[in-house]
Structure formats: C-alpha cells, structure tokens
Amino acid sequence: MNWLVKAYRLTTVSLFSAGLLLTSGCEDPNAIGVELPGTAPANTQYRDLPVTASTLLQDSLQTLKANSILVGNIRDNNLGINTIARGYFNLAITLPNLPFALSDSLPAKFTNPQLDSVVTYLSYNQLYGNTTQLAHFDLYNLQQRIGDREVYTSSTTLPLGEAIGTNLVSSLTRTRKTRVKVASGGATDTSTVVTQVADPSLRLVLHKPAQSSSFATALFEQLKNSNFNQAALDAFWKGLAVVPSAGFTGTMVGLGYNPSAVTSQVLVYYRVPSDPETPTKKKWRSYSIFLGTSLSAGNAGAARYFTQITPDLSGAGAFARLTDDSKEVTAAEANGVTYMQNGVGLGTKLVIPGLEDLRKESGLAINRAELIIPVKGYSNLLFTSPLQAYLYEINSHNRVLQRTVGITPIKRLVQADGENQQSQRAHSSNAPNSEATVTYYDLGANNKYYSVVITSYIQAYLYNQLGGELPAGLLLSPSLDLPTSIEASLPLNLNRAVLDGNNIKLRIYYSNLR
C-alpha cells in the first residue's frame, strides 16, 4: 500500500505562532510537549498536509439492539436519496428486570374472558421530516424468529408472514393525562391536578369491536390457555415486523426507550363478566406482550430487534453509482463537498498523500497531529449533524481492515491518543472503549468543524507500528461498528454532516532531532 505522493507545504514557525494558527485555539507549549524555538537543539515546525476526500456508501451497518430502531420512509431532497426503514422484533411475555411472567393478568385465570381490543404501543425518541402528518404502518408476523446467534445488520431482511394489520394510523403528536403535584409554598401540601403531557409513542390499533382481526382473535385464544408461556408465544407468534404502509412517505420515526412514553408493548384488553374481585360489575383487564425496546437499549436480557435500512440512490445524481463500498464520489464531483450519515451508511474517505513523504524522513519526533474537518456552512436542514464520528483504516478497495483481538476479528479503528494502536478495547463495563472520537464543534452558523488529535496514530504509522497492512486511507463515519457479540447500545439515527471536502487537513507539529 502507498499513500499517493503529493507536494506539501513546509513552514517553520515559533510555537506561539503555531498556536494562533490552530483552528481549535491557542495551546500551552507544555501541552504540545516541546520547548519554545531557540531554547532547545530541536526547533518545532508544523506542516498542513492536504487531504483528498470522497464519499463512500457503507453497507451492512450494525443495527442489532441499537439505541433506536428506525421505521418510515423519507427523502433527502439535498442528496436525492430516498430511505425506507423497517423494524423487526422478537417478543417476550415479561421484562428482564421482572423475575416472573405477568401471569396474574393472563385471561386463562378467569372464567369466560371476552376480548375487547388489541393495541400496539411503540415508544419513540427520534422524529425526522413531517411530524404533523399521521403515520401509517403495516404489522406483519415473521416466518422465523430473530436468532440468538445469527448476525443482523442494516442489510438483513427476514421473510414476512401474514399481514396482521395494514394501514394502521397513529398521530405523532399524541398526549395523555397525568396527575402532577400542585406547586405551592406549603411543605405539607399534597394537592394534585390532572394535566395533559406529550406521549411520544405510536398507538396502532390492531383489533377493536368495530374492527375485528383474525390474528388478534387467535392470539386471545392462546391467552385463554392456562399453560401459555414464552415457548407457546414463540410457537404461535414468531416475531413482529413494522413496515411503512404503501404511499406513506416524508417521515422517519426512531423507536426506542423513552421514559416519557408508554412502554413498547402489544396490549391485549379484555373484560371478565363475572370477576371474583368485583362480582357486581364487569371488570376491564389487560395482558402485555413486550418488545425489546421497552427497556433502555443495551439491556442484555431484552428481546432482540434490529433495523433493515434500504437507501434508494437512483435519483441522487453522481451518488447513484455508490452501489457498493468499492465506488466513491470525489469532492470535485459534488461541488466540493462530501457526506457522512448514520443509518444510510454514508462516510467520507480521507487520503493524506504527504504522510508517505514523512515516512522517508529520519529523525522526526511528532509532537502533535490534529485532523481538522470543516463543515459546509448552512448545509443541514432536515437532519442534525452527528456529534461525533470515528476513523476506520481502509485498503485500496475501500474495505475496512481487520485485526484479531483475542479470538475475535475486529474492524480496525484508529485508537485514542495515548492508546496502543495495535489493540482495541471493546465496550463493556470492565473494558471501556478506546477508539479515537472525532468531535463536532459548533462556533456559529458558518463556523462548524470536526477535530481529533491522532498523534499516537501518526507516530505508529510513520514507524510502521500499526501491526498489519498499512492503510490506503481512512474512513470517517458516524457509525460505530463493533463485534456482533457485543450488544452495546450503539447509536442509530439519520444524523448527517456535509463536509467541506476541499479544505480538510492534517496539521502536524514535529521536531527534527538531527
């Protein structure tokens, strides 16, 4: 592998002047780790190495048990990409933090229970696009469960079974009543009042007296069996798929845990004509079947779920050729910009030609290396900019390189400054993450950029200490991809950044020790 050779600019300045030139502000000389020029045998110099940037489309992003599950259909008018997302869920009759199944509400406990309605509640924590229109979704049974050992990504699909509800409608501005304490000056005042609060959840009615469902009726018959348990549920209902209805477009919903919303569940309402607790009147009861997003993401015991994401680039101009990750669109072909976007899978490829020339120089001590990535001003209306991103090492075919940690193959991520660049700690309670985080800075409407210090990485690159094949470039992506064995509540959204591809640079401060 070779970085393409290109001329670079060399300027010798004092440390004080170099600090003024840093986009991120002035630095203390001790923070860079060199003496002031003229006070030591080695002078401090800096180089701005230009970066060649282009846009790639990553496939198979990890979406299993992420912090959200995307469902909907939305078009990015800026890029011309239409994105459809579908959610797949396993189901559970209890939550992992409860030590028992909710058998006390099982209809089989009572004599002659009568089905009233079945409602699917889906809490959400993200909305994109038109949030005032009604949302339309179809619900499907799955032909097979989401397996406990299989790999599921954004490109995975599962075969659908029967449609159990079509064109089910929900408002995205729902409210619910709640009782809150009245603010008063008295410490002993316990007065309360009923008020309306936002309820960020979809309410999809599957069955009601005037709208019968054969699936809901069959489900209720299962619940009338006193032997009903998780195995019986899995045999009858393999899983749930939530799919945007035909013709529904303009909105994307990020389903996920939200403490302000109703728990994500399928709620079966029924009545008992002769309830032993209240024998003189009918008693309304309910039984819950839970989705994995009922809990905060990352709960190891929650039922599995994932998102399938299908971006349609046919109307995206030059980007339409991004049919696989070997293709790319240069900044020159896209009016000087490149993109990165979570969910859809857009990333920016960075090639730094001047690094190969630095490798040929002896006696260099790298004091600081900072990658500076400007954001195109006034470029995001529909989507929010990602607050952070990551750097993957890629080969000349744009494939992410891998290394084996223990017995697990892991995609090669640039590690944080000071970390061993040949290692990678996974996300867990006893092994915190070690990857370098590219941070977003917002200093005004036309002054936004991403930046990351990668001094240790550049040193390892120059001295051939990366352990394995040298990369042909780096991939900047807001999507963190860890081994599928680590269900780590990874973020999933549609956050997107438009980058100034012509002005990305790597600024290196170094000393020549010869």
Let me know whether 163 and 283 are in one domain: yes
Q: Which of 253, 266, 265 is nearest to 294 (CA)?
A: 265
Let me know whether 198 and 180 are in one domain: yes
- pTM (whole model) above 0.95: no
pLDDT: is 429 or 61 the higher one? 61
The answer to whether position 202 is within a domain reads yes
* Pairwise CA distance, residues 213 & 219, whole Å: 10
pLDDT score recorded for residue 97: 61
The answer to whether position 38 is within a domain reads no
**Residues 33-48 pLDDT 10s:** 444 444 455 578 888 9
The answer to whether position 205 is within a domain reads yes
In the chain, the largest separation of any two C-alpha atoms, in whole Å, equals: 97
β partners of residue 290: 92, 265
pLDDT score recorded for residue 221: 97
Instruction: Give CA 52 to chain center in angstroms.
Output: 27
Residue 19, helix vs strand vs coil = helix
The answer to whether position 121 is within a domain reads yes
pLDDT band at 133 (very low <50, low <70, confident <90, very high): very high
* Pairwise CA distance, residues 264 & 203, whole Å: 10
The answer to whether position 361 is within a domain reads no
Amino acid code (one letter) for 134: L
Q: 261, 199 in Cβ contact below 8 A?
A: yes
Let me know whether 163 and 295 are in one domain: yes
The answer to whether position 275 is within a domain reads yes
pLDDT band at 243 (very low <50, low <70, confident <90, very high): very high
Instruction: Tell me which H or E stretch contains 142.
Output: strand 135-142
* Pairwise CA distance, residues 166 & 138, whole Å: 4
The answer to whether position 479 is within a domain reads yes
Residues, the chain, total?
Answer: 514
Cβ within 8 Å of residue 430, ≥6 positions away: none
**How much of the chain exceeds pLDDT 70, in percent?**
82
- In the predicted model, is pLDDT for residue 305 greater than 90? yes
Let me know whether 347 and 463 are in one domain: yes
**Residues 369-414 pLDDT 10s:** 999 999 998 877 789 999 999 999 999 999 999 988 777 788 999 9
Mean pLDDT of the chain: 85
- Rounded mean pLDDT, 229-250: 96
Let me know whether 234 and 176 are in one domain: yes
- In the predicted model, is pLDDT for residue 482 greater than 90? no
**Total domain count for the chain?**
2
The answer to whether position 5 is within a domain reads no
- In the predicted model, is pLDDT for residue 205 greater than 70? yes
Instruction: Tell me which H or E stretch contains 127.
Output: strand 114-129
Let me know whether 232 and 281 are in one domain: yes
- In the predicted model, is pLDDT for residue 5 greater than 50? no
Let me know whether 276 and 347 are in one domain: no
Q: Which of 287, 266, 61 is nearest to 165 (CA)?
A: 266
Residue 188, helix vs strand vs coil = coil
Q: 314, 11 in Cβ contact below 8 A?
A: no
Query: What letter would DSSP give residue 100?
Result: S
Residue-range definition of the domain harbouring residue 412? 51-59+324-352+370-506
Let me know whether 380 and 482 are in one domain: yes
Let me know whether 172 and 300 are in one domain: yes
Q: Which of 309, 339, 361 is the last residue of a domain?
A: 309
In this structure, what token pair is assigned to residue 460? 């390892």
Let me know whether 329 and 252 are in one domain: no
Q: Which of 309, 333, 361 is the last residue of a domain?
A: 309
pLDDT score recorded for residue 512: 79
pLDDT score recorded for residue 33: 44
Phi, psi of 212, deg, nearest 5: -80, 155
pLDDT score recorded for residue 98: 55
Let me know whether 105 and 185 are in one domain: yes
Q: What's 324-354 look like in SS3?
A: CCCCCEEHHHHCCEEEEECCCCEEEEEECCH
- Rounded mean pLDDT, 255-277: 85
Let me know whether 332 and 189 are in one domain: no
Q: In Å, how far are 19, 43, 464, 508 from 365, measured between CA atoms? A: 18, 11, 14, 10
